[in-house]
Amino acid sequence: MGNIAIIGGAGFIGTATTYELQSHGYDVTIIDVKEGSDIIVDAIDYKSIKKALSIKKFDAVYMFAAISDSKENHIDIKKAINTNIMTLTNTLDAMHELSIPRIIFSSTVWVYSVCNATKVNEDTNLSISNSEHIYTTCKLTCEAIIRNYQKVRGIDFTILRYGIAYGPGCHPDTVLSKFISNAITDKPLVVTGNGSIYRNFLYVTDHEEVIG
């Protein structure tokens, strides 16, 4: 079917996507900083990510590498920018050098939080000046960079604006993880604010089925 590299493939959605791609017959290589990955590489280092992507002729690259936890992004903004943006730029440069034709990028539904419209779709204008969160700003920047590389370098792309994922293996600090663990241990379920805020969640197996 084809050779696929997944950068950040040892993470929550990346792992689920790996299983889905493999079930469709793709040869998947997981590139991540985590132990147990096929190739252990920090994509912040350009030479390392280029070397990792040169081990075989890849048909596409999935890009999941990012700091998704909101607290981590706020605590160290420089690290957030390096991890969320520079890893993508390095990957795109390496793809150009190695003639890898397509990137599938993991963006977020939170980019719609900057819209002035109440009803949104893929064509709705996104106003980066409305962004109040470094994670959202990084994803908006990444989307723009990917489009620039398509124009200048000819790299095709698919941008997937994922909803909030939950399921086995998700971060323990997410609200659903906390609700479940608190319920099991007979602790109260705490809702921040006045209770009027709501979120839409998507089970991780539904994420994995949208494979770009």
For residue range 150-190, list pLDDT tens digits in order. 999 999 999 998 877 777 766 666 666 677 777 888 888 77
Provide the pLDDT for residue 172.
64
- What is the spatial distance between Cα 108 and Cα 105, in angstroms, rounded to a whole number? 10
CATH topology of domain 3-166+204-209: Rossmann fold (3.40.50)
Report residue 97 CA to chain centroid gap.
Answer: 23
Provide the pLDDT for residue 2.
93
Per residue in 42-65, pLDDT (tens digit) is 999 999 999 999 999 999 999 999
Lowest mean pLDDT, pick from 5-9, 25-29, 187-191: 187-191
Q: Which residues have a Cβ under 8 Å from the Cβ of 47 and sit 6 or more positions away?
A: none
Is residue 80 within 8 A of residue 67, CB to CB? The reply is yes
CA atoms within 13 A on the CB side of 40: 4
pTM score of the predicted model = 0.84
